[in-house]
Amino acid sequence: MDTTDLEILRMLRKNARENLSVIAEQLKVSKATVSRRISRLEKDGYINAYTMQLNTSKVGLMRAHIGLQVVGAPLSAVIEELKKYPGIRYVYKVFGDHSLVCEVYSTSVDSLYDLIQDKIVNIPGVQRVEVDILIERIAMNEDAMFDLVIPLAQNDDER
């Protein structure tokens, strides 16, 4: 992994469908070099998938984070129970005030309330539930991961 690889990743993060010729031109390398590097980045697991982002509010969905404090039950058992509910997109194991944080989609505040009150609070081991309804995502620095990693790669390039 060097700075060229990181610049390729940065460009693909902005547009996963970017033309290889455009990437090559901006990085002043050949199209074949870009193609080989992307193949290697995929093979080595740096690139897990190419995705799109949906504007959830346009399709009538809201997003929320639900923090769960789990006591007296294995996290794996709680996670297995949470898998039963299709509105839960991700479950994160975390350090802090919660044991787990769920990223959830819902069609309304009422359906979110029902998910929490009728299902999640009844899972054995779930002691406390806190909800944050996400209103707006404000991009601060979408390249933050690259801004932190590039100086490390530049140091490796200099060695």
Confidence category of residue 151, pLDDT binned at 50, 70, 90:
low
Of 60, 67, 55, nearest to 97 (Cα)? 67
For residues 146 and 6, what is the distance between their CA atoms, to the nearest angstrom?
Answer: 7
Mean pLDDT throughout 12-24? 94
Model pTM score? 0.78
Q: Is the pLDDT of residue 155 over 90?
A: no
Characterize 106-138 residue by residue with b for buried, 16 or more Cβ atoms within 10 angstroms of its Cβ, and e for exposed: beeeeebeebbeebbeebebbeebebeeeeeee
**Alpha-carbon distances, residue 65 vs 15, 127, 151 (angstroms):** 27, 16, 33
- Domain 56-134 -> CATH class: alpha beta
Q: Is the pLDDT of residue 1 over 90?
A: no
Q: Which region among 2-6, 59-63, 65-69, 87-91 has the lowest average model confidence (pLDDT)?
A: 2-6
pLDDT of residue 139: 87
Mean pLDDT throughout 6-18? 93
Characterize 55-90 residue by residue with b for buried, 16 or more Cβ atoms within 10 angstroms of its Cβ, and e for exposed: eeeeeeebbbbbbbebeeeeeeebbebbeeeebbee
- Domain 1-53 -> CATH class: mainly alpha
pLDDT of residue 26: 96
DSSP code for 114:
H
- Average pLDDT of every residue of the chain: 92
pLDDT cut 70: percent of the chain above it = 94
Tokens of 26: 């901006």
Mean pLDDT throughout 1-25? 93
pLDDT of residue 53: 84
Confidence category of residue 59, pLDDT binned at 50, 70, 90:
very high
Establish whether domains 1-53 and 56-134 are of one fold.
Answer: no
What are the domain boundaries of the chain?
1-53, 56-134
Mean pLDDT throughout 87-101? 96
